[in-house]
Structures are given as C-alpha cells and as structure tokens.
Amino acid sequence: MNCSDCKEKLDRYLDRELSNTEMLELQLHLEGCPPCTDNYEFQASLKRLVKVCCEQDKAPDALREKLRQILT
Amino acid sequence: MAESPPQTAFAEEALTHLDTLYRGALRLTRDPDSAQDLVQEAYLRALRYQHSYQPGTNMKAWLFAIMRNLFWDRFKGSRKEDVSLDDVGEFVLYDKLRDEGAKPEADVLDKLAASEVVAAVEKLPPLHREVVLLVDVEGFSYRDAAQTLGVPIGTVMSRLHRARQQLQKSLYDYALESGIVRANGTKEVPNE
C-alpha cells in the first residue's frame, strides 16, 4: 500500500468499514508512515469532535415524560 | 386501561432512542420546537406501525427512518432544492493547515468552538447532513445508514465524503475569520 491508496481508504478505515485484510494493510502502512499517521490522527480527531459537539443535545425531560404517557 | 406488556416493552425500548431521535430532528429542522413536534409525530407513527418492526433488528435505525421520512414529507419541496456539493472539490483541512504551516495541525481543532462545529454541520445540505448525523454522530455502519435512508451504500459513501469536505471547508473558513489560523502565513494565534 502506498500513501495514495491510504488516503483513498482513510474514510473507510476511520469508519471501520474495510475488510479485516484491508484494515491490517492500512494499519501496517500507518505504522511506517508518519505523514499518513498524522493525517489519520487529525481526521480521527475531527470525527470525534463532530460527535462530541453534536451529542451535547439531549431530549428535554418534558418531551420524554409526554411521550412516556402517550406510549405506555 | 392498562396497556399490554408487549406494547409497554416496545415503548420502553423505543424511548431509549429518544436522545438520538431528538438530536437528529434538531439538526435537521434547526429549531427545538419543530424538533419536538417531529419527534412526537415520529413516535406516534412508530406506535401505529409497530407491527412492521421486527424484534431483534435495529430499532434505532427504524425509528430514525420514520423521523427523517416525516421530515422530508413536511419539507417535500425542499428535496429538489437540496444543494449539490459537487462544486466543493477536494478540500482536506489537514493538507490546508499543513501547507499554511499551522503545526501541529490538530491544535487547531482544540480551538474550534463547539457551537461552530454544530453550525458547520447544520450548514450542510439536509441530504448530506443526515449522513453525517448517522455515521459520525450516531455511529451507524454504512449498511445501516443506507437502509435508514433508503439509498445504496455507494450513495452513503459519496455523500459522506462530500459532506466531510464541506464541513472541513466551513471549519477552515471559521478558523480564518476568527484568527485561529492565518491564510498563507505560518503563525497561529496561541492559546491564552
């Protein structure tokens, strides 16, 4: 695997959507390639950031209670 | 009259996914009141059609599909107006920051305000926004996201890729405007 292949597969690696073999190949490439590792860590941080920021919103308690009464 | 145990169990399980549905509705409608209405309607519809839910399958995905279908029903006309992201081109924030000498690149992420990250997500066209919500926020697999959205996996992947590019471009623009990075410069505003 070269850096171009790594870049092309990085989204799917981040999302754990590659086959086991591909995951391993990419992992091996990352272990020997600091620039790709930096890029991977940056993309992983960005993905985490989006998740953390968007997860802060919780359903209001009043809505939860209202739905509980309607549904049960 | 007391409800039967199966319905109570269904309702209890459905309610464990309330935060996911509310967050999704909030990001799609960008309005807390509209989000609550949408979620309530989605749960009522889920209750009505609970016979079509197969126990043991992904209830979160099933509920999300009901909610997003209701969203699109309400905003029917806007589906055509969903902005294409074809013109974003390849935009990789990491490459951009590296080229401009903002090192270490990851430090820039620490300086982004959470509200700006949410705003960047909400600026995405809805068809792209919902893929980011499912995969990046809620951790859906591509397959579950595809089933939820009723599109092929390839469509999920291409929308996700374009959405991430646009998201990175929005965050870069914000970083420039707020002085976190400077265009074509090597200096980064330090943390206080």
Look at residue B192 and tell me whether its pLDDT is greater than 50.
no
Q: Give the mean pLDDT of chain B.
A: 84
Look at residue B6 and tell me whether its pLDDT is greater than 70.
no
What confidence tier does B184 reach under pLDDT thresholds 50, 70, 90?
A: low
pLDDT in tens, B22-62: 999 999 999 999 999 999 999 999 999 988 888 888 999 99
pLDDT in tens, B96-132: 777 776 666 667 777 888 899 999 999 999 999 999 9
Q: How far apart are CA B82 and CA B93, in angstroms?
A: 24
Q: How far apart are CA B163 and CA B17, in angstroms?
A: 25
Contacts of A51 in chain B (CB under 8 A): 136-137, 139
pLDDT in tens, B159-175: 999 999 999 989 988 88
Q: How far is CA B59 from the centre of its chain?
A: 18
Look at residue B88 and tell me whether its pLDDT is greater than 80.
no
Q: How far apart are CA B126 and CA B182, in angstroms?
A: 30
Q: Kindly give, in sequence order, each residue whose CB lies less than 8 Å from that of residue B104, ignoring residues fewer than 6 positions away.
A: none
Domains for chain B: give ranges and CATH numbers. 5-79 (1.10.1740.10), 86-177 (1.10.10.10)
Q: Output the 3-class SS for B30-49.
A: CCHHHHHHHHHHHHHHHHHC
ipTM, two decimals, is 0.90
Out of A11, A58, A63, the one facing B160 most closely (by C-beta) is A11
Q: How far apart are CA A10 and CA A39, in angstroms?
A: 9
pLDDT of residue B111: 81
Place of tokens 């991977």: A40
Sign of CA dihedral B3, B9, B11, B16: positive
Q: Which of A4-13, A16-25, B76-85, B178-187 has the lowest mean pLDDT?
A: B76-85
Q: Which two tokens stand for residue B61?
A: 């995905």
The domain limits of chain A are 3-71
Average pLDDT rounded to a whole number, residues B73-101 = 65
Look at residue B185 and tell me whether its pLDDT is greater than 70.
no
Best of B16, B117, B134, B172 to substitute, by most chain A Cβ atoms within 10 angstroms, is B117
Q: Counting Cβ atoms within 10 Å, is residue B89 exposed (0-12), middle (13-18) or buried (19+)?
A: exposed
- Assess A42–B contact: CB distance below 8 Å, yes or no: yes
| Cα three-residue angle B185-B190-B192, rounded to 5 degrees | 160
pTM: 0.84
pLDDT of residue B5: 57
Q: Give chain A's length.
A: 72
Q: Which two tokens stand for residue B56?
A: 């043991």
Count of pairs with CB atoms under 8 A, one residue in A, one in B: 103
